[in-house]
Structure 1
Amino acid sequence: MYSRHETAKPLTAPNVSRQRINAAGHVASRHRPNGPSALAALDQQGSARIRLPNSFQGPLQAVLINTAGGLTGDDDIRWSATAGESSRLVISTAACEKLYRTHGPAARQQTRLTVENGARLDWLPQETIVFNGSSLERSLEVDVAGDATALIVESLVLGRHAMQESVERLQLHDCWRIRRDGRLLHAEDLRLQLDDRRHARRPSMLHHYSALSTLVLVSPESSDSLHMKGESVRRLLPDTTSTLQAATTVMKHRLVIRVLATDSQSLRKFLIPCIEHLSDRMSIPQVWNV
Protein backbone atom coordinates (compact mmCIF):
# COMPACT_ATOMS: atom_id res chain seq x y z
CA MET A 1 0.00 0.00 0.00
CA TYR A 2 1.06 3.53 -0.49
CA SER A 3 -0.43 6.91 0.06
CA ARG A 4 -0.37 9.77 -2.38
CA HIS A 5 0.66 13.22 -1.20
CA GLU A 6 0.36 16.46 -3.09
CA THR A 7 3.66 18.10 -3.78
CA ALA A 8 4.05 21.21 -1.62
CA LYS A 9 3.84 24.42 -3.59
CA PRO A 10 6.89 26.69 -3.43
CA LEU A 11 6.61 29.87 -1.41
CA THR A 12 7.15 31.89 -4.57
CA ALA A 13 3.93 30.59 -6.16
CA PRO A 14 1.77 33.42 -7.53
CA ASN A 15 -1.09 32.64 -5.15
CA VAL A 16 1.08 32.90 -2.02
CA SER A 17 1.06 36.40 -0.62
CA ARG A 18 4.25 37.73 0.94
CA GLN A 19 4.09 39.48 4.29
CA ARG A 20 5.76 42.86 3.95
CA ILE A 21 6.74 45.56 6.40
CA ASN A 22 4.31 48.45 6.76
CA ALA A 23 5.66 50.38 9.73
CA ALA A 24 5.79 53.92 11.08
CA GLY A 25 7.29 55.69 14.07
CA HIS A 26 7.08 59.27 15.37
CA VAL A 27 8.80 61.08 18.24
CA ALA A 28 8.64 64.71 19.39
CA SER A 29 10.52 66.70 22.03
CA ARG A 30 9.52 69.74 24.10
CA HIS A 31 11.45 72.32 26.04
CA ARG A 32 11.53 71.93 29.81
CA PRO A 33 12.75 74.95 31.82
CA ASN A 34 15.75 74.20 34.03
CA GLY A 35 16.00 70.63 32.76
CA PRO A 36 16.70 68.40 29.76
CA SER A 37 14.35 68.37 26.80
CA ALA A 38 11.38 66.10 27.47
CA LEU A 39 9.19 63.76 25.47
CA ALA A 40 6.17 65.44 23.88
CA ALA A 41 4.82 62.62 21.70
CA LEU A 42 5.59 59.02 20.81
CA ASP A 43 3.91 56.74 18.31
CA GLN A 44 5.04 53.41 16.85
CA GLN A 45 3.35 50.96 14.48
CA GLY A 46 4.34 47.63 13.02
CA SER A 47 8.05 46.79 13.22
CA ALA A 48 9.01 50.41 13.95
CA ARG A 49 10.08 50.87 17.57
CA ILE A 50 11.51 53.91 19.37
CA ARG A 51 13.44 53.72 22.62
CA LEU A 52 14.45 56.63 24.85
CA PRO A 53 17.72 56.13 26.78
CA ASN A 54 17.91 57.83 30.17
CA SER A 55 19.16 61.39 29.80
CA PHE A 56 19.54 63.58 32.85
CA GLN A 57 20.72 66.66 31.01
CA GLY A 58 20.84 68.11 27.52
CA PRO A 59 18.88 66.75 24.55
CA LEU A 60 16.18 64.13 24.40
CA GLN A 61 17.73 61.04 22.81
CA ALA A 62 15.68 58.65 20.67
CA VAL A 63 16.85 55.34 19.21
CA LEU A 64 15.01 53.91 16.20
CA ILE A 65 14.66 50.14 15.81
CA ASN A 66 13.35 48.12 12.88
CA THR A 67 12.48 44.83 14.59
CA ALA A 68 12.16 43.13 11.20
CA GLY A 69 15.95 43.21 10.94
CA GLY A 70 16.15 44.93 7.56
CA LEU A 71 14.30 45.93 4.41
CA THR A 72 13.60 44.08 1.19
CA GLY A 73 11.31 44.36 -1.83
CA ASP A 74 8.00 46.17 -1.24
CA ASP A 75 8.74 46.94 2.43
CA ASP A 76 7.55 50.36 3.59
CA ILE A 77 8.84 52.14 6.69
CA ARG A 78 8.18 55.75 7.70
CA TRP A 79 9.92 57.80 10.39
CA SER A 80 8.98 61.29 11.54
CA ALA A 81 10.22 63.55 14.31
CA THR A 82 9.64 67.05 15.66
CA ALA A 83 11.99 69.10 17.81
CA GLY A 84 9.57 71.42 19.59
CA GLU A 85 10.30 75.08 20.23
CA SER A 86 13.61 75.64 22.09
CA SER A 87 14.15 71.90 22.63
CA ARG A 88 16.87 69.58 21.35
CA LEU A 89 16.30 66.11 19.92
CA VAL A 90 19.01 63.62 18.93
CA ILE A 91 17.95 60.61 16.85
CA SER A 92 20.02 57.55 16.02
CA THR A 93 19.44 53.89 15.20
CA ALA A 94 20.17 50.86 17.34
CA ALA A 95 22.13 49.23 14.52
CA CYS A 96 22.94 49.59 10.86
CA GLU A 97 19.86 49.25 8.66
CA LYS A 98 20.26 46.41 6.15
CA LEU A 99 18.91 46.45 2.62
CA TYR A 100 18.48 42.91 1.29
CA ARG A 101 18.05 41.50 -2.20
CA THR A 102 14.62 42.13 -3.68
CA HIS A 103 12.37 39.85 -5.71
CA GLY A 104 11.46 42.85 -7.89
CA PRO A 105 9.89 45.89 -6.19
CA ALA A 106 11.93 48.46 -4.30
CA ALA A 107 11.88 48.92 -0.54
CA ARG A 108 10.64 52.35 0.54
CA GLN A 109 11.81 54.52 3.43
CA GLN A 110 10.36 57.96 4.14
CA THR A 111 11.68 60.35 6.78
CA ARG A 112 10.05 63.66 7.75
CA LEU A 113 11.75 65.99 10.26
CA THR A 114 10.51 69.28 11.69
CA VAL A 115 12.65 71.71 13.71
CA GLU A 116 10.69 74.53 15.36
CA ASN A 117 11.81 77.98 16.54
CA GLY A 118 15.04 77.96 18.55
CA ALA A 119 15.25 74.15 18.50
CA ARG A 120 17.91 71.75 17.30
CA LEU A 121 17.56 68.28 15.78
CA ASP A 122 20.41 65.88 15.06
CA TRP A 123 19.52 63.07 12.63
CA LEU A 124 22.32 60.53 13.15
CA PRO A 125 21.33 57.07 11.91
CA GLN A 126 24.07 54.47 11.61
CA GLU A 127 25.03 53.31 8.14
CA THR A 128 22.67 51.55 5.76
CA ILE A 129 24.37 48.35 4.54
CA VAL A 130 23.37 47.58 0.96
CA PHE A 131 23.50 43.98 -0.25
CA ASN A 132 23.76 42.69 -3.78
CA GLY A 133 20.52 42.76 -5.78
CA SER A 134 18.75 45.25 -3.51
CA SER A 135 16.54 48.19 -4.47
CA LEU A 136 15.59 51.25 -2.39
CA GLU A 137 13.49 54.37 -2.83
CA ARG A 138 14.33 56.71 0.06
CA SER A 139 13.15 60.25 0.75
CA LEU A 140 14.11 62.78 3.40
CA GLU A 141 12.01 65.91 4.03
CA VAL A 142 13.25 68.47 6.57
CA ASP A 143 11.53 71.69 7.63
CA VAL A 144 13.71 74.02 9.71
CA ALA A 145 12.70 77.32 11.32
CA GLY A 146 14.89 80.34 10.57
CA ASP A 147 16.52 80.42 14.02
CA ALA A 148 16.73 76.63 14.40
CA THR A 149 19.57 74.17 13.72
CA ALA A 150 19.57 70.74 12.07
CA LEU A 151 22.43 68.29 11.54
CA ILE A 152 21.52 65.65 8.96
CA VAL A 153 23.75 62.61 8.38
CA GLU A 154 23.17 59.67 6.04
CA SER A 155 25.68 56.94 5.13
CA LEU A 156 25.71 54.00 2.73
CA VAL A 157 27.99 50.96 2.73
CA LEU A 158 28.04 48.64 -0.30
CA GLY A 159 28.41 45.17 1.20
CA ARG A 160 30.43 44.10 4.24
CA HIS A 161 34.14 44.55 3.64
CA ALA A 162 35.12 42.02 6.33
CA MET A 163 33.03 39.36 4.56
CA GLN A 164 34.56 40.29 1.17
CA GLU A 165 31.11 41.03 -0.21
CA SER A 166 30.67 42.96 -3.44
CA VAL A 167 27.62 44.70 -4.86
CA GLU A 168 27.22 44.03 -8.57
CA ARG A 169 23.51 44.82 -8.93
CA LEU A 170 21.80 47.70 -7.17
CA GLN A 171 19.07 50.27 -7.72
CA LEU A 172 18.96 53.15 -5.27
CA HIS A 173 17.31 56.57 -5.33
CA ASP A 174 17.91 58.89 -2.35
CA CYS A 175 15.97 62.17 -2.50
CA TRP A 176 16.58 65.04 -0.03
CA ARG A 177 14.55 68.23 0.35
CA ILE A 178 15.47 70.65 3.15
CA ARG A 179 13.42 73.82 3.65
CA ARG A 180 14.16 76.78 5.86
CA ASP A 181 11.26 79.02 6.85
CA GLY A 182 9.20 77.23 4.20
CA ARG A 183 11.60 77.98 1.34
CA LEU A 184 13.70 75.32 -0.37
CA LEU A 185 17.28 75.54 0.91
CA HIS A 186 18.90 72.26 -0.14
CA ALA A 187 17.90 69.60 -2.68
CA GLU A 188 19.73 66.58 -3.98
CA ASP A 189 18.98 63.30 -5.71
CA LEU A 190 21.46 60.44 -5.51
CA ARG A 191 20.95 57.61 -7.97
CA LEU A 192 23.04 54.45 -8.04
CA GLN A 193 22.22 51.86 -10.68
CA LEU A 194 24.71 49.04 -10.97
CA ASP A 195 24.57 46.14 -13.42
CA ASP A 196 27.91 44.57 -12.54
CA ARG A 197 30.83 45.24 -10.22
CA ARG A 198 32.72 47.26 -12.85
CA HIS A 199 30.14 50.03 -12.68
CA ALA A 200 30.86 50.86 -9.03
CA ARG A 201 34.59 51.01 -9.80
CA ARG A 202 34.31 53.57 -12.58
CA PRO A 203 35.94 56.92 -11.75
CA SER A 204 32.67 58.65 -12.67
CA MET A 205 30.89 56.71 -9.92
CA LEU A 206 32.57 55.41 -6.75
CA HIS A 207 35.96 54.36 -8.17
CA HIS A 208 37.36 51.90 -5.59
CA TYR A 209 35.32 53.25 -2.66
CA SER A 210 32.47 51.26 -1.10
CA ALA A 211 31.25 53.60 1.66
CA LEU A 212 29.88 57.11 1.34
CA SER A 213 28.33 59.69 3.62
CA THR A 214 26.68 63.11 3.34
CA LEU A 215 26.42 65.57 6.23
CA VAL A 216 24.43 68.79 6.06
CA LEU A 217 24.47 71.31 8.90
CA VAL A 218 21.66 73.88 8.60
CA SER A 219 22.30 76.77 10.96
CA PRO A 220 21.47 80.45 11.56
CA GLU A 221 25.21 81.03 12.08
CA SER A 222 27.11 83.39 9.80
CA SER A 223 28.97 82.11 6.74
CA ASP A 224 32.27 82.94 8.45
CA SER A 225 31.35 80.72 11.39
CA LEU A 226 30.39 77.87 9.07
CA HIS A 227 33.68 78.30 7.15
CA MET A 228 35.55 77.92 10.45
CA LYS A 229 33.64 74.71 11.19
CA GLY A 230 34.51 73.42 7.72
CA GLU A 231 38.20 74.16 8.29
CA SER A 232 38.08 72.29 11.60
CA VAL A 233 36.50 69.29 9.89
CA ARG A 234 39.24 69.24 7.25
CA ARG A 235 41.84 69.03 10.02
CA LEU A 236 40.27 65.71 11.05
CA LEU A 237 41.19 64.11 7.73
CA PRO A 238 43.85 61.36 7.83
CA ASP A 239 47.31 62.09 6.47
CA THR A 240 46.80 59.62 3.63
CA THR A 241 43.94 59.79 1.14
CA SER A 242 44.16 56.14 0.08
CA THR A 243 41.30 55.03 2.37
CA LEU A 244 39.19 58.17 2.68
CA GLN A 245 38.47 61.45 0.94
CA ALA A 246 36.22 64.28 2.10
CA ALA A 247 35.23 67.72 0.86
CA THR A 248 33.37 70.60 2.51
CA THR A 249 31.24 73.33 0.97
CA VAL A 250 29.71 76.37 2.66
CA MET A 251 26.57 77.90 1.19
CA LYS A 252 23.99 80.22 2.64
CA HIS A 253 22.91 78.89 6.04
CA ARG A 254 24.45 75.46 5.48
CA LEU A 255 27.66 73.46 5.58
CA VAL A 256 27.78 70.38 3.33
CA ILE A 257 30.33 67.59 3.82
CA ARG A 258 30.72 64.61 1.50
CA VAL A 259 32.85 61.59 2.36
CA LEU A 260 34.09 58.57 0.40
CA ALA A 261 35.83 55.67 2.12
CA THR A 262 37.10 52.23 1.18
CA ASP A 263 35.12 50.55 3.99
CA SER A 264 32.81 51.29 6.90
CA GLN A 265 35.60 51.18 9.48
CA SER A 266 37.54 53.94 7.71
CA LEU A 267 34.32 55.92 7.32
CA ARG A 268 33.44 55.70 11.01
CA LYS A 269 36.95 56.63 12.09
CA PHE A 270 36.42 60.01 10.45
CA LEU A 271 32.66 60.33 10.84
CA ILE A 272 32.42 60.02 14.64
CA PRO A 273 34.78 62.91 15.54
CA CYS A 274 33.28 64.93 12.66
CA ILE A 275 29.73 64.54 14.06
CA GLU A 276 30.94 65.31 17.59
CA HIS A 277 32.61 68.47 16.32
CA LEU A 278 29.46 69.64 14.53
CA SER A 279 27.34 68.74 17.60
CA ASP A 280 29.07 71.35 19.79
CA ARG A 281 31.35 68.67 21.24
CA MET A 282 28.45 66.51 22.39
CA SER A 283 29.42 62.82 22.44
CA ILE A 284 28.14 60.56 19.69
CA PRO A 285 25.06 58.54 20.79
CA GLN A 286 26.21 55.49 22.77
CA VAL A 287 24.56 53.06 20.33
CA TRP A 288 27.27 53.90 17.78
CA ASN A 289 29.80 52.23 20.08
CA VAL A 290 27.80 49.09 20.90
Structure 2
Amino acid sequence: MLIADPPPPVHQRAVGELRLAVKRNDQETVLDTLRQAGCLKARFPRRLVPGWFDAVMLNTGGGVAGGDRLDVAIDLAAGTRATIAAQAAERFYRVLSMDQPARVRTHLTVARGACLEWLPQETILFDRSALDRSLAIDLAADASFLGVETLVFGRTAMGEAVRQGHLRDRIRIRRDGALVLNDAIRLDGPVHDLLARPSIANAARSLATLVFVAPDAAACVDAVRGALADAEAGVSAWNGLLVARVLGPDGAAVRRSVAAALAVLRGSRPLPRVWLC
Protein backbone atom coordinates (compact mmCIF):
# COMPACT_ATOMS: atom_id res chain seq x y z
CA MET A 1 0.00 0.00 0.00
CA LEU A 2 1.43 3.31 -1.09
CA ILE A 3 1.28 6.20 1.31
CA ALA A 4 1.21 9.63 -0.28
CA ASP A 5 3.66 12.22 0.91
CA PRO A 6 2.05 14.77 3.20
CA PRO A 7 1.30 18.14 1.61
CA PRO A 8 3.81 20.91 2.33
CA PRO A 9 2.98 22.93 5.42
CA VAL A 10 0.90 26.05 4.95
CA HIS A 11 2.11 28.82 7.21
CA GLN A 12 -0.18 31.44 8.61
CA ARG A 13 0.55 34.83 7.12
CA ALA A 14 -0.48 38.30 8.24
CA VAL A 15 -2.74 40.51 6.14
CA GLY A 16 -3.35 44.10 7.13
CA GLU A 17 -5.35 46.95 5.64
CA LEU A 18 -5.56 50.56 6.80
CA ARG A 19 -7.72 53.20 5.12
CA LEU A 20 -7.69 56.66 6.68
CA ALA A 21 -9.18 59.91 5.40
CA VAL A 22 -9.30 63.38 6.96
CA LYS A 23 -11.37 66.46 6.21
CA ARG A 24 -11.51 70.13 7.13
CA ASN A 25 -13.78 71.31 9.95
CA ASP A 26 -13.47 75.09 10.32
CA GLN A 27 -9.77 75.59 11.08
CA GLU A 28 -9.12 72.03 12.23
CA THR A 29 -8.32 68.80 10.43
CA VAL A 30 -10.47 65.96 11.71
CA LEU A 31 -10.99 62.27 11.00
CA ASP A 32 -13.40 61.55 8.17
CA THR A 33 -13.26 57.78 7.59
CA LEU A 34 -11.27 54.91 9.10
CA ARG A 35 -11.06 51.27 8.12
CA GLN A 36 -8.80 48.86 9.99
CA ALA A 37 -8.48 45.20 9.10
CA GLY A 38 -6.10 42.48 10.18
CA CYS A 39 -2.84 43.52 11.82
CA LEU A 40 -2.82 47.21 10.81
CA LYS A 41 -4.29 49.77 13.22
CA ALA A 42 -4.21 53.52 13.75
CA ARG A 43 -4.24 55.54 16.95
CA PHE A 44 -4.80 59.25 17.37
CA PRO A 45 -2.74 60.92 20.10
CA ARG A 46 -3.60 64.27 21.57
CA ARG A 47 -2.65 66.83 18.94
CA LEU A 48 0.54 68.74 19.56
CA VAL A 49 -0.08 71.72 17.27
CA PRO A 50 -3.45 73.40 16.57
CA GLY A 51 -4.67 72.78 13.04
CA TRP A 52 -2.61 69.61 12.55
CA PHE A 53 -4.03 66.10 12.69
CA ASP A 54 -1.79 63.37 14.12
CA ALA A 55 -2.10 59.64 13.51
CA VAL A 56 0.14 56.76 14.55
CA MET A 57 0.12 53.48 12.64
CA LEU A 58 0.93 50.17 14.31
CA ASN A 59 1.34 46.59 13.20
CA THR A 60 0.02 44.23 15.85
CA GLY A 61 1.76 41.33 14.10
CA GLY A 62 5.03 42.26 15.79
CA GLY A 63 6.99 42.34 12.53
CA VAL A 64 6.65 41.21 8.93
CA ALA A 65 7.46 37.76 7.55
CA GLY A 66 7.60 36.34 4.05
CA GLY A 67 4.19 36.24 2.41
CA ASP A 68 2.67 38.94 4.62
CA ARG A 69 0.63 41.62 2.82
CA LEU A 70 0.12 45.14 4.14
CA ASP A 71 -1.92 47.83 2.37
CA VAL A 72 -2.20 51.45 3.51
CA ALA A 73 -4.18 54.30 1.93
CA ILE A 74 -4.20 57.85 3.33
CA ASP A 75 -6.46 60.53 1.82
CA LEU A 76 -6.25 64.23 2.70
CA ALA A 77 -9.11 66.49 1.64
CA ALA A 78 -8.59 70.07 0.49
CA GLY A 79 -6.97 72.40 3.00
CA THR A 80 -6.14 69.71 5.58
CA ARG A 81 -2.85 69.15 7.40
CA ALA A 82 -1.77 65.80 8.83
CA THR A 83 1.26 64.02 10.24
CA ILE A 84 1.32 60.23 9.92
CA ALA A 85 3.92 58.39 12.00
CA ALA A 86 4.52 54.78 13.07
CA GLN A 87 4.62 53.45 16.60
CA ALA A 88 8.02 51.78 16.17
CA ALA A 89 10.54 50.60 13.62
CA GLU A 90 9.15 47.85 11.38
CA ARG A 91 11.10 44.59 11.30
CA PHE A 92 11.26 42.32 8.26
CA TYR A 93 12.32 38.81 9.18
CA ARG A 94 14.02 35.97 7.32
CA VAL A 95 11.79 34.32 4.74
CA LEU A 96 11.43 30.57 4.33
CA SER A 97 12.39 28.92 1.06
CA MET A 98 8.77 28.43 -0.01
CA ASP A 99 7.68 31.98 0.87
CA GLN A 100 7.03 34.94 -1.39
CA PRO A 101 8.54 38.29 -0.40
CA ALA A 102 6.58 40.40 2.05
CA ARG A 103 4.46 42.88 0.09
CA VAL A 104 3.78 46.41 1.32
CA ARG A 105 1.72 48.88 -0.69
CA THR A 106 1.10 52.47 0.42
CA HIS A 107 -0.94 55.07 -1.49
CA LEU A 108 -1.11 58.68 -0.29
CA THR A 109 -3.47 61.23 -1.85
CA VAL A 110 -3.18 64.93 -1.02
CA ALA A 111 -5.83 67.33 -2.37
CA ARG A 112 -5.46 71.02 -3.20
CA GLY A 113 -3.94 73.20 -0.51
CA ALA A 114 -3.36 70.21 1.81
CA CYS A 115 -0.12 69.24 3.54
CA LEU A 116 0.92 65.71 4.47
CA GLU A 117 3.89 64.57 6.54
CA TRP A 118 4.77 60.89 6.15
CA LEU A 119 7.11 60.04 9.03
CA PRO A 120 7.32 56.29 9.66
CA GLN A 121 10.23 55.05 11.72
CA GLU A 122 13.01 52.83 10.40
CA THR A 123 12.59 49.69 8.31
CA ILE A 124 14.92 47.07 9.81
CA LEU A 125 15.87 44.25 7.47
CA PHE A 126 17.12 40.94 8.85
CA ASP A 127 19.42 38.49 7.10
CA ARG A 128 17.63 36.61 4.29
CA SER A 129 14.61 38.89 4.45
CA ALA A 130 12.66 39.62 1.27
CA LEU A 131 10.64 42.79 0.77
CA ASP A 132 8.67 44.20 -2.16
CA ARG A 133 7.46 47.68 -1.17
CA SER A 134 6.01 50.65 -3.01
CA LEU A 135 5.02 54.13 -1.90
CA ALA A 136 2.80 56.07 -4.35
CA ILE A 137 1.98 59.72 -3.68
CA ASP A 138 -0.57 61.70 -5.70
CA LEU A 139 -0.49 65.45 -5.05
CA ALA A 140 -2.65 68.29 -6.25
CA ALA A 141 -0.75 71.06 -8.01
CA ASP A 142 -0.49 73.21 -4.86
CA ALA A 143 -0.34 70.45 -2.24
CA SER A 144 2.72 69.92 -0.02
CA PHE A 145 4.42 66.72 1.09
CA LEU A 146 7.25 65.88 3.45
CA GLY A 147 8.28 62.26 3.78
CA VAL A 148 11.14 60.05 4.89
CA GLU A 149 11.93 56.36 4.48
CA THR A 150 14.89 54.82 6.31
CA LEU A 151 16.38 51.38 5.66
CA VAL A 152 18.56 49.62 8.25
CA PHE A 153 20.47 46.53 7.10
CA GLY A 154 20.84 44.66 10.37
CA ARG A 155 21.26 46.06 13.88
CA THR A 156 24.95 46.74 14.34
CA ALA A 157 24.63 46.84 18.14
CA MET A 158 23.41 43.23 17.98
CA GLY A 159 26.20 42.16 15.63
CA GLU A 160 23.74 41.61 12.77
CA ALA A 161 24.38 41.88 9.04
CA VAL A 162 22.25 41.20 6.00
CA ARG A 163 24.45 38.72 4.15
CA GLN A 164 21.74 37.69 1.71
CA GLY A 165 18.44 39.33 0.91
CA HIS A 166 15.94 40.62 -1.62
CA LEU A 167 14.75 44.22 -1.72
CA ARG A 168 12.52 46.13 -4.09
CA ASP A 169 11.69 49.58 -2.76
CA ARG A 170 9.99 52.24 -4.93
CA ILE A 171 8.81 55.80 -4.34
CA ARG A 172 6.69 57.42 -7.04
CA ILE A 173 5.35 60.96 -6.76
CA ARG A 174 2.87 62.54 -9.13
CA ARG A 175 1.90 66.20 -8.97
CA ASP A 176 -1.23 67.23 -10.83
CA GLY A 177 -1.04 63.88 -12.62
CA ALA A 178 2.54 64.32 -13.86
CA LEU A 179 5.31 62.04 -12.63
CA VAL A 180 7.92 64.15 -10.79
CA LEU A 181 9.90 61.45 -8.95
CA ASN A 182 10.49 57.77 -9.59
CA ASP A 183 13.06 56.51 -7.08
CA ALA A 184 13.85 52.80 -6.94
CA ILE A 185 16.23 50.68 -4.88
CA ARG A 186 16.92 47.08 -5.90
CA LEU A 187 19.25 44.75 -4.05
CA ASP A 188 19.42 41.00 -4.66
CA GLY A 189 21.68 38.28 -3.35
CA PRO A 190 24.83 39.24 -1.38
CA VAL A 191 23.45 42.46 0.10
CA HIS A 192 26.34 42.95 2.55
CA ASP A 193 28.88 42.76 -0.27
CA LEU A 194 26.84 45.03 -2.51
CA LEU A 195 26.56 47.70 0.18
CA ALA A 196 30.34 47.61 0.60
CA ARG A 197 30.88 48.87 -2.96
CA PRO A 198 31.84 52.58 -3.10
CA SER A 199 29.40 53.16 -5.93
CA ILE A 200 26.46 51.79 -3.90
CA ALA A 201 26.78 52.56 -0.18
CA ASN A 202 30.53 52.54 0.61
CA ALA A 203 29.93 50.08 3.49
CA ALA A 204 27.08 52.10 5.04
CA ARG A 205 24.58 49.98 6.95
CA SER A 206 21.67 52.41 6.89
CA LEU A 207 20.26 54.88 4.40
CA ALA A 208 17.42 57.37 4.41
CA THR A 209 15.57 59.10 1.58
CA LEU A 210 13.93 62.40 2.47
CA VAL A 211 11.55 64.11 0.05
CA PHE A 212 10.01 67.58 0.33
CA VAL A 213 7.52 68.80 -2.27
CA ALA A 214 6.40 72.42 -2.00
CA PRO A 215 6.49 75.57 -4.14
CA ASP A 216 9.41 76.90 -2.07
CA ALA A 217 11.32 73.61 -1.76
CA ALA A 218 14.40 74.94 -3.57
CA ALA A 219 14.74 77.76 -1.05
CA CYS A 220 15.41 75.17 1.68
CA VAL A 221 18.41 73.51 0.04
CA ASP A 222 21.12 75.45 1.83
CA ALA A 223 19.46 75.04 5.24
CA VAL A 224 19.03 71.28 4.75
CA ARG A 225 22.62 70.94 3.55
CA GLY A 226 23.73 72.78 6.67
CA ALA A 227 21.74 70.42 8.88
CA LEU A 228 23.40 67.45 7.16
CA ALA A 229 26.90 68.94 7.06
CA ASP A 230 28.33 66.27 9.38
CA ALA A 231 26.62 63.36 7.60
CA GLU A 232 27.39 61.40 4.45
CA ALA A 233 24.56 63.02 2.53
CA GLY A 234 23.55 64.76 -0.66
CA VAL A 235 20.74 67.26 -1.27
CA SER A 236 19.25 68.39 -4.58
CA ALA A 237 16.22 70.44 -5.57
CA TRP A 238 14.42 71.11 -8.82
CA ASN A 239 10.95 72.10 -9.96
CA GLY A 240 9.43 72.37 -6.46
CA LEU A 241 11.00 69.10 -5.27
CA LEU A 242 13.81 68.58 -2.74
CA VAL A 243 15.43 65.16 -2.28
CA ALA A 244 18.09 64.22 0.28
CA ARG A 245 19.88 60.90 0.65
CA VAL A 246 21.67 60.12 3.90
CA LEU A 247 24.06 57.23 4.55
CA GLY A 248 25.38 56.10 7.91
CA PRO A 249 27.08 53.27 9.80
CA ASP A 250 23.89 52.41 11.69
CA GLY A 251 20.28 53.41 12.14
CA ALA A 252 20.97 55.68 15.13
CA ALA A 253 23.42 57.86 13.21
CA VAL A 254 21.06 58.22 10.26
CA ARG A 255 18.14 59.02 12.57
CA ARG A 256 20.09 61.90 14.14
CA SER A 257 20.79 63.33 10.70
CA VAL A 258 17.19 62.89 9.53
CA ALA A 259 15.89 64.57 12.69
CA ALA A 260 18.17 67.55 12.05
CA ALA A 261 16.88 67.91 8.48
CA LEU A 262 13.27 67.55 9.58
CA ALA A 263 13.77 70.29 12.17
CA VAL A 264 14.73 72.65 9.34
CA LEU A 265 11.74 71.73 7.18
CA ARG A 266 9.17 71.57 10.02
CA GLY A 267 10.19 74.69 11.91
CA SER A 268 9.31 74.79 15.59
CA ARG A 269 6.87 71.88 15.51
CA PRO A 270 8.14 68.91 17.54
CA LEU A 271 8.62 65.45 16.10
CA PRO A 272 5.86 62.93 16.85
CA ARG A 273 6.19 61.59 20.38
CA VAL A 274 6.74 58.05 19.11
CA TRP A 275 10.04 59.22 17.56
CA LEU A 276 11.28 60.13 21.02
CA CYS A 277 10.45 56.84 22.78
TM-score in terms of structure 2 length: 0.93
Q: Any gaps of 5 or more consecutive residues in structure 2? A: none
Give 1:234's aligned residue: 225
Distance 2:7 2:219 in 1: 59
Give 2:83's aligned residue: 90
Contact 2:227–2:264, Cα closer than 8 Å, also in 1? no
Change (3 A) 1:232 1:196: closer
Give 1:248's aligned residue: 235
Q: 1:198 aligns with which of 190, 193, 196?
A: 193
Q: 1:139 aligns with which of 134, 143, 168?
A: 134
Contact 1:26–1:43, Cα closer than 8 Å, also in 2? yes
How far off its partner does 1:238 sit? 4.8
Alignment of 1:44-83 (within 5 A): 44-55=36-47, 57-83=50-76
How far off its partner does 1:200 sit? 2.1
Distance 2:7 2:236 in 1: 50
Distance 1:289 1:196 in 2: 30
Q: Secondary structure at the match of 2:227?
A: coil
Aligned residue type for 1:53: P
Aligned residue type for 2:29: S
CA RMSD of aligned residues (A): 1.6
Alignment of 1:115-130 (within 5 A): 115-130=110-125
How far off its partner does 1:54 sit? 1.3
Distance 2:260 2:66 in 1: 35
Q: Secondary structure at the match of 1:287?
A: helix
Moved more, 110-119 or 54-63: 54-63
Larger radius of gyration: 1
Give 2:264's aligned residue: 277
Give 1:261's aligned residue: 248
1:25 matched to 2:5:
no
How far off its partner does 1:281 sit? 3.1
Residue correspondences, number:
270
How far off its partner does 1:21 sit? 1.1
Distance 1:151 1:196 in 2: 29
TM-score in terms of structure 1 length: 0.89
How far off its partner does 1:196 sit? 5.9
Contact 1:194–1:200, Cα closer than 8 Å, also in 2? no
Distance 2:191 2:184 in 1: 22
1:209 matched to 2:194:
no
Q: Deviations over 1:59-105 (max 9, x none)?
A: 11110101001111111001110111101011010000001000141
How far off its partner does 1:53 sit? 0.5
Distance 1:118 1:125 in 2: 23
Give 2:171's aligned residue: 176
Give 1:6's aligned residue: none
Q: Secondary structure at the match of 2:262?
A: helix
Distance 2:90 2:15 in 1: 16
Contact 1:140–1:175, Cα closer than 8 Å, also in 2? yes
Q: Deviations over 1:180-238 (max 9, x none)?
A: 011111112110123263232111222221010001111123xxxx3331110111135
Q: Any gaps of 5 or more consecutive residues in structure 1? A: 1-8
Change (3 A) 1:159 1:14: farther
Aligned residue type for 1:254: L
Aligned residue type for 1:95: A
Q: Secondary structure at the match of 1:37?
A: strand
Distance 1:78 1:196 in 2: 26
Contact 2:209–2:243, Cα closer than 8 Å, also in 1? yes
Q: Percent identity, please.
A: 36
Distance 1:14 1:262 in 2: 44
Distance 2:22 2:69 in 1: 25
